[in-house]
């Protein structure tokens, strides 16, 4: 396996872990921000959308 594949796999693992970790922390995030759980969930969705846009963009920039 190419050596460059290991950091890529680690980055994908870290991004996936950060997404799933937020689901368990949602009530705490909502309480800390003094918003409802639905609003905190929308913020989490916005974060996920940023990852969807940012990950391929960073991959394209890193390739050059």
Q: What residues does each domain of the chain span?
A: 22-63
Looking at the whole model, is its pTM more than 0.85?
Answer: no
Residue 11 buriedness (CB in 10 A; 0-12 / 13-18 / 19+): middle
Q: For residue 59, give the nearest of 1, 2, 8 by alpha carbon.
A: 8
Distances (CA, A) of 47 to 4, 7, 21, 26, 56: 27, 22, 12, 13, 15
Largest CA distance in the chain: 47
* Whether pLDDT at 64 is above 80: no
Condensed to tens digits (0 to 9), the pLDDT of residues 3-14 reads 888 998 998 898
């Amino acid at each position: 396996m190419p050596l460059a594949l290991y950091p890529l796999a680690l980055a994908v693992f870290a991004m996936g872990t950060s997404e799933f970790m937020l689901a368990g922390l949602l009530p705490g995030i909502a309480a800390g921000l003094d918003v409802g759980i639905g609003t905190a969930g929308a913020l989490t969705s916005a974060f996920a959308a940023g990852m969807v846009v940012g990950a391929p963009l960073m991959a394209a920039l890193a390739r050059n």
